[in-house]
Amino acid sequence: MIKRYLLPVIILILVALVGVGLVGFNLFRDKAIKDFFATMQQPAAPVSTYTVKPSEWTPEVEAIGTVSAIQGVELSVEVAGIVKDIPFTANQTIQKGAPLLQLDDAIEKADIVAAQAQNVLMDQTLERARTLNTRGVGAVSSVDEAQSASLAKKAEIAKLQAVMDQKLLKAPFTGTVGIPRIELGQYLAPGTVVVTLQDLTTMRVDFTVPEQVLSQIKIGQPIKLGLTDNDINFKGEITAIEPRIDPATRLVSVRAKVDNSEGKLRPGQFAQVRVTLPREENIFTLPQTALVSSLYGDYVFVVRSAEEKPGAAKPADTTQPAGAASAEAAKPDDKKEPKLVVAQVFVKPGRRSGLVVEITKGLKEGDIVVTAGQNRLNPGAAVKIANDVNPANTQDAGLPTK
């Protein structure tokens, strides 16, 4: 009877022990996994770096401008007429005074010939009147009338000659002509544009700068010009500064002159302009890729060693005998790379110029700043320096490389 009741109890106890064992195993397993991931070290992330050092820096004021020719006009006719001759071709270099268009001037030429014939008669009449007046036969009024008629005829001839000269369009300066906008035999009304003429040897660029930097802009100041940010190869100088600030935009208009002897610049092009300011000494600068902006401010990641500071005294191990300690000290140290981690450092950026930003607060000389790869970093993360491929090339950015 007792055995009948004892067997179920034993089975219950065994089941309970198995259940407790399973629960304990699961708890142990979860804790072991948690401890493993808590103590597991993340692999060091490769980063590119730049060592902060005071250097010379040439700040620049960036602007956007429009290129135009130093001399450029749209030539048009002053009088009406039929196109008789077009003595030029597109993109031809024309000297000053060269003919560009000839309108039909046959009527004006005939009028001039007739007026010149009448002018001869007027001169002869004036000469006879003077002769008669000298002999006391003719009246003085006859001389005055003949002289007036002669002068009027000469003025008429000059007027006809001026009209005929307007039928011939000449180049006002040396330059390159564009595509002709007229055809032979076409009737042209006064004001019709014939062709454009541009002097491409020297160009000018018009741009605007904020009023805050007006005090730094001077006439004769050098500028650099390019069609893209990566092609700033043209050099020039400022020739004019608008004395008035636009009250709507608070911008100041500036004009500069740029040499274009190679003919790469064309009127109407969009241009990137950089006004070169005086060189400054002992300035901390970084590639702009190193700077990270957040709601709490601008910061950078600085690489630091995770080991103890060099020169710190270590406590002596009293458990070893003196001989063992000296023998241990005599062993050569294994050369191991120090473990590097990053620290988040908030900085105060200043002026920007091209790919470079000035740092006015937060860094000191010798700090190693991460310039690429910081998007996957957190404060305290392990890193390794890999400057073989550096997207923020310090040489291209204008930073010191030594």
Structural domain boundaries of the chain? 40-57+280-308+336-402, 61-68+199-279, 105-166
CA distances from 313 to 107, 308, 310, 316 (A): 111, 10, 9, 9
How far apart, in whole angstroms, are the C-alpha atoms of residue 250 and residue 212? 9
pLDDT band at 68 (very low <50, low <70, confident <90, very high): very high
Does residue 329 register a pLDDT over 50?
A: no
Note whether 85 and 101 are within 8 A (CB): yes
CATH of domain 40-57+280-308+336-402: 2.40.420.20
The whole-model pTM stands at 0.61
Does residue 322 register a pLDDT over 60?
A: no
How far apart, in whole angstroms, are the C-alpha atoms of residue 180 and residue 164? 22
Q: What is the largest CA-CA distance in the chain?
A: 186
Spell out where 95-135 has E strands: 99-103
Question: What top-level class would CATH report for the domain 61-68+199-279?
Answer: mainly beta
**CB under 8 Å to 41, separation ≥6 — which residues?**
382
How far apart, in whole angstroms, are the C-alpha atoms of residue 35 and residue 346? 33
Position with higher pLDDT, 323 vs 383: 383
Best CA proximity match to 48, nearest among 368, 381, 376? 368
Best CA proximity match to 350, nearest among 338, 363, 341? 363
- Mean pLDDT value across the chain: 81
pLDDT band at 67 (very low <50, low <70, confident <90, very high): very high
- Percent share of the chain, pLDDT over 70: 85
The pLDDT score that the predictor gives to residue 100 is: 92
